[in-house]
Amino acid sequence: AARGDRFVLRFYSPMRVLGGGVILDPNALKHRVSEEDVIERLERKLKGDPVDIVEDALSVRETGLVKDELAKMLGLEVKVVESTLQELMRDQRVMQLGGRFIHKGAYEGAVSRIKSALESYHRANPMKAGMPKEELRRQLAMDQKGFQTVLSAMSSGGEIATAEATVKLPGHVQTLSEKEEQLAKSIVEDYRQAGVNPPFLPDLEQRYGAVARDITALLTERGELVRITPDLLFHREAMERAESGLRKYLSEHGQMTVAEFRDVIGSSRKYVVPLLEYFDDSKVTRRAGDLRTLWK
């Protein structure tokens, strides 16, 4: 079905005609009882003014649409949609973000909902650095591309701070209760004492409970621990000693094997292999087969 097509509503038993009409929007969103302007908006669509039609379609889609989607959905020529969008942007009623066109009011609504969701998440999870992006998207029921477009615009404007997988409000600071702070000190001390043979995170969770994962994430943010893999962390001082020993050995010998690094720092293969891979990624070392050399 396309905009402008006529339709007939029939009841199947007993067979009788209930009514008919004209399709105004083949991809219309569900109207809510609380929307007092529904009839007015439908009348604008029926009138057929491209400006009203395009603006109405965008006003109820908070993550916007790309130009071709809009033209196809409304049954309008692309050239008509282009000129209409230009007019709406001149009037500052529609904004372009990347390749998407978003109604100003709809965008402001999306921003408000995102901020509100983040505020609630931070209150409920003060220890976490931020809210997982996918969890936020699902909670707000936004499409993936539109969601990313809005997040990028908000991040550029300083309204949110984003990491690879999480998002937070700029003013959010991770906090611990007094009991959790004591637990954090115990965990830091465990890593300090373990040196280059630290516990893996699942072992730490067995000792302290699931909260250990959140606390180690916070300690990583603070710079007290260094994350090598998702489940392997080292105390900052242990990392400094390991890198110092690595650089000293390579300065003297030019190259190093895994076994030689193991002996230099006094650890085991299960630790030194991920450590060397971390130093490779950090451009401290360069790997050539089974050997490492200094990057510079």
CA distance 135 to 17: 46
201 located within any domain: yes
CA distance 284 to 278: 9
| pLDDT class of 33 with cuts at 50, 70, 90 | low
pLDDT at 134: 97
Q: Which helix (H) or strand (E) holds 285?
A: strand 285-288
Q: What is the mean pLDDT of residues 138-151?
A: 94
Q: What is the mean pLDDT of residues 190-205?
A: 97
Model pLDDT for residues 207-221, shown as the tens digit of each residue: 999 999 999 999 998
pLDDT at 122: 95
Residue 111 CA to its chain's centroid (Å): 14
| pLDDT over 70 percentage in the chain | 91
With a cut of 70, say whether residue 31 has pLDDT above it: no
| pLDDT over 90 percentage in the chain | 69
pLDDT at 20: 81
What total number of domains does the chain contain?
1
Residue position matching structure tokens 């710079």 = 223
Cα torsion for 71, 77, 78, 81, to the nearest 10°?
A: -70
Give bridge partners of residue 94 from the DSSP assignment: 103
Residue whose C-alpha is closest to residue 218's, from 275, 166, 269: 166
With a cut of 80, say whether residue 27 has pLDDT above it: no
Whether the Cβ atoms of residue 251 and residue 236 lie closer than 8 Å to each other: no
Beta strand 291-294 with 285-288: parallel, antiparallel or unpaired?
antiparallel
Q: Which of 70-84, 130-144, 179-193 has the lowest mean pLDDT?
A: 70-84
71 located within any domain: no
With a cut of 80, say whether residue 176 has pLDDT above it: yes
CA distance 43 to 122: 43
Structural domain boundaries enclosing 198: 176-296
Tell whether omega for the bond before 14 is within 30 degrees of 0, i.e. cis. Answer: yes
287 located within any domain: yes
| pLDDT class of 168 with cuts at 50, 70, 90 | very high
Q: Which helix (H) or strand (E) holds 132?
A: strand 131-132
Beta strand 100-103 with 161-162: parallel, antiparallel or unpaired?
unpaired
CA distance 237 to 230: 19
pLDDT at 35: 65
Whether the Cβ atoms of residue 294 and residue 251 lie closer than 8 Å to each other: yes
Token pair in block for residue 134: 């996918």
Contacts of 251 (CB under 8 A, 6+ apart): 294
Average pLDDT, the chain: 90
Q: Which residue type is seen at 100?
A: R
135 located within any domain: no
Contacts of 151 (CB under 8 A, 6+ apart): 114, 133, 160, 162, 167
137 located within any domain: no
Model pLDDT for residues 256-272, shown as the tens digit of each residue: 999 999 999 999 999 99
Model pLDDT for residues 64-80, shown as the tens digit of each residue: 999 998 898 887 889 99
13 vs 283, residue with greater confidence: 283
The CATH number covering residue 200 comes to 1.10.10.10
Q: Which of 20-34, 100-114, 174-188 has the lowest mean pLDDT?
A: 20-34
With a cut of 90, say whether residue 50 has pLDDT above it: no
266 located within any domain: yes
pLDDT at 45: 63
255 located within any domain: yes
CA distance 89 to 87: 5
